[in-house]
Amino acid sequence: FVFLPGTTKQVENGTNVDGEEKEDKAAQSLLNKMIHTSLVNTTNQVEVLQRDPNSPLYSVKTFEELRLKDKLLKGVYDMGFNRPSKIQENALPMMLAEPPQNLIAQSQSGTGKTAAFVLAMLSHVDPTNKWAQCLCIAPTYELALQTGKVIEQMGKFYPEVKLAYAIRGNKLDRGAKLQEQIVIGTPGTVLDWCSKLKIINPKKISVFVLDEADVMIATQGHQDQSIRIQRMLPKECQMLLFSATFEDSVWKFAERVVPDPNIIKLKREEETLDTIKQYYVLCSDKEEKFTALCNIYGAITIAQAMIFCHTRRTAGWLAAELTKEGHVVALLSGEMTVEQRATIIERFREGKEKVLVTTNVCSRGIDVEQVSVVINFDLPMDKDGNADNETYLHRIGRTGRFGKRGLAVNMIDSKHSMNILNQIEEHFNKKINKLDTDDLDEIE
Ligand code: ADP
């Protein structure tokens, strides 16, 4: 079999009539994977809940302690990993324990979950057996490919282990038997391969990984398909579930898919507004907001700045107007492919552009740490038109660790936006001062 998937197809965010973007969790998640080329820093401690509270809790500080096969250890070091990440310190010994233990793990994107379960899958495989032994499901084709790349990279010195992609477009004949030991795919195709087509014998699966559980349950049908797959697996199969967030719905799903789990959670760093100077600028309309922005442009581009707009249309317009004025800006917008977005974020991170114009939705959940100036060209609001405090905090707030000082400027052009500003002030119990854009001494 040749299972080389084609080029990544376009992932688009949807828009409604106003050009307002809908959230696309899978695209956001993919983007996060693409831009997290190293571990996200965290000083928070992991929380571990053991299925058997009396058993000793193992954690490792080095990869050697895991007694991995040499070929795998070599793969790990070749990826540039020196020591396990926070979550890996606890998750790896649990996943590699004998007898196998089930695990539910939650931590934000970029903390080392994928690397952890890839290592677990690669360690469990018996390469002399030519059948599927590890099964991993992901919400989209693109996310599956991204994880597949990690498997290939980490297994670079272990070529006996083969990987197959169970994704739409990989057509196999009914009854054809898969020889690859690791299968990664989307729930629909994996289910077909396990049941209708009988390409995989689910009874021979010994490790089952459900990645991006929060994104999974956001897609119609994926939850049922995942549960149906899980029911076909043997009782002693190791079940592992990963998620970046953990709302109640994710938790309920996780408990259905993973019996008797150990649980590992790593909190996000708390964000605060304490080190941020917050201002607002009073304008009468969009054009005046633009003029005000031009007035402060010199002051904000001393550092790197992000400018947030509510719609793609406004973001596109603003980027074009700024360009006309001779400014070099980058535009990040929802109609771009995830690859294009990743490239733009990467360039911005490298400082190739100092200003990034984007929409609220497009950039939600994306961490660009070095930004110290944030302009809310439009204030963040929820679908009812109320202040979206959480987004405001995430955009502007700093974690204690990166506790550099920052500057936030909110552009107000209506009663409604003033109202949102007041809600934000009240929510955070912090006054936002008026900025006179003709007299900028204040923000220096
Ligand atoms: P998650 O699945 O939680 O989003 P990843 O496993 O994709 O996190 O890891 C995020 C980034 O950090 C990747 O670029 C990965 O190669 C890298 N990484 C993972 N584990 C380690 C480690 N122990 N040491 C150094 N880098 C790591």
Tell me, what's the ipTM? 0.99
Helix/strand/coil for 78: helix
For ligand 1, say whether the CB of 25 is within 6 Å of any of its atoms: no
Residue 258 φ/ψ, nearest 5 degrees = -120, 100
Q: What tokens were used for 87?
A: 């979550």
Ligand 1: centre distance to CA 179 (Å) = 29
Ligand 1: centre distance to CA 138 (Å) = 17
Ligand 1: centre distance to CA 266 (Å) = 14
Residue 176 near residue 249 (C-beta atoms within 8 A)? no
For ligand 1, say whether the CB of 243 is within 6 Å of any of its atoms: no
Pick from 414, 413, 411: which is nearest to 432 by CA? 411
Tens-digit pLDDT string for the chain (444 aa): 334 443 333 333 444 434 445 567 887 788 777 777 788 878 888 999 998 888 888 899 999 999 999 999 999 999 999 999 999 999 999 999 988 899 999 998 889 999 999 999 999 999 999 999 999 999 998 899 999 999 999 999 999 999 999 998 888 877 788 999 999 999 999 999 999 999 999 999 999 999 999 999 988 899 999 999 999 999 999 999 999 988 899 999 999 999 999 999 998 777 788 888 899 999 999 999 999 999 988 887 778 888 999 999 999 999 999 999 999 999 998 888 888 888 888 888 888 898 999 987 666 656 666 677 889 999 999 889 999 998 898 888 765 545 567 889 999 999 999 999 999 999 999 999 999 776 666 665
User: DSSP letter at 104?
Assistant: E
Residue 5 near residue 165 (C-beta atoms within 8 A)? yes
Residue 13 near residue 149 (C-beta atoms within 8 A)? no
What is the rounded distance in angstroms from the CA atom of residue 407 to the CA atom of residue 83? 36
For ligand 1, say whether the CB of 62 is within 6 Å of any of its atoms: no
pLDDT of residue 239: 98
For ligand 1, say whether the CB of 112 is within 6 Å of any of its atoms: yes
pLDDT of residue 63: 97
